[in-house]
Amino acid sequence: MSNFKKIVALLLVAVCLISVAACGKNEKADVTTTAPAANHEDKEIPDVEVTVPDRGENKIKIAAPADSGGLAFSKLAIDCSYAYSVEQKGITSATAAEKIKNGEAQVAALTLADAAALSSQADIKIIAINTNLVLSVVASGEGILSCEELDGKTIYACGEGTYVQWVTEKILDDNGVNADIVYATVDEIDAKMKSGEAEICILPEFDGTGLTNANEGFTKKFPLTSLWKEDFAPAATCVVARTDYVEANTGYIEELVEKFEMATNSCIDNEAGIGYLAQILTENGYFSDFELAKKSVAAVGFVYLDGEEMKAAFEANVDFYADCGAEITAPADSAYYGI
């Protein structure tokens, strides 16, 4: 029996390096998955079957936009369908916040601004910051290789009235760039790129990658956010949960936090993890092709901050929003999970 336990332990280590956990894609009452064979210290580990019971009505209901902030949840939706019911189609940060408020969802991925607003309207726990904002300068032709070359130009950007605008303008101001910025939606910018009206754009990821892929002659020149000068990163999204659900389902939430952290960290400077996520997202229709999926995943500013580190980053960003004129208040200390 001891040898069997060693084999199982080694198998679990191997599986965790590739995926979140031994989860199944099948929605039946009992899901049987076959873990891949792996080598550990030159000893072959045979395939074994791991039976995962479907939780049925006890699945955690998650609302997550199908954007950079929701990519890790896309992974859980595929890998761990036995435990999580993830709604993404048609979901925005605002609609996800509303679903948390009215009880339709127990967990959600939100922008920091929406999470801060929600904390004053509902009893929630902020679990982690999961992405930082990445802004890419996208342009046609061979020029625009530095921030200084943006001076005097007409630039198309999105995110008016949000942290995307505030970070964009802060970086340009800090670098002495005086440009004519025209704000539009991502779809409007795409149309202007196709018509030739827009030659220079500043776009959040993974929109920058998607629009570059869709418009011949355009390339990503450099990440504008690499010039950010503050002592905190411009955080983009976070994960929140209803407090009543957290308190009533401690074990389920702890398991979700562990799996989500692993899913997120597997894509931070990890080519194998990025490739695996890109592959399953492509196979399940999230992206049209693997190369686009891989580039998009790699471009996202994945990060995992929890506890005091999360709280400090959240509050620094809220202070920045307030300085930009936003009517926003930092959540109470009690709103941060694990503190």
**Class for the domain spanning 56-132+234-335:** alpha beta
Which residues of the chain have a pLDDT value below 50?
A: 1-48
**3-state DSSP assignment of residue 280:** helix
Express each pLDDT in 280-335 by its tens digit: 999 988 899 999 999 999 999 999 999 999 999 999 999 999 999 999 999 999 99
Q: Are strands 60-63 and 84-87 parallel, antiparallel or unpaired?
A: parallel
Strand partners, 125: 241
| Same topology between domain 56-132+234-335 and domain 135-227 | yes
Nearest to 207 by CA among 157, 142, 155, 147: 157
* Long-range contacts at 312-318 (CB < 8 A, ≥ 24 apart): 312/232, 313/129, 313/232, 313/233, 313/235, 314/112, 314/115, 314/116, 314/126, 314/129, 314/235, 314/238, 316/230, 316/231, 316/232, 317/112, 317/163, 317/232, 317/234, 317/235, 318/112, 318/116
Question: In the prediction, which pLDDT does 51 show?
Answer: 59
Would you call 209 helix, strand, or coil by DSSP?
helix
Domain spans, the chain: 2-53, 56-132+234-335, 135-227
The CATH architecture annotation of domain 135-227 reads 3-Layer(aba) Sandwich (3.40)
Cα 131 from Cα 65, distance rounded (Å): 13
Residue written as token pair 């690499």: 226
Give the CA distances from residue 244 to residues 87, 120, 184, 253, 339, in Å, rounded to whole numbers and listed in that order: 20, 15, 39, 11, 17
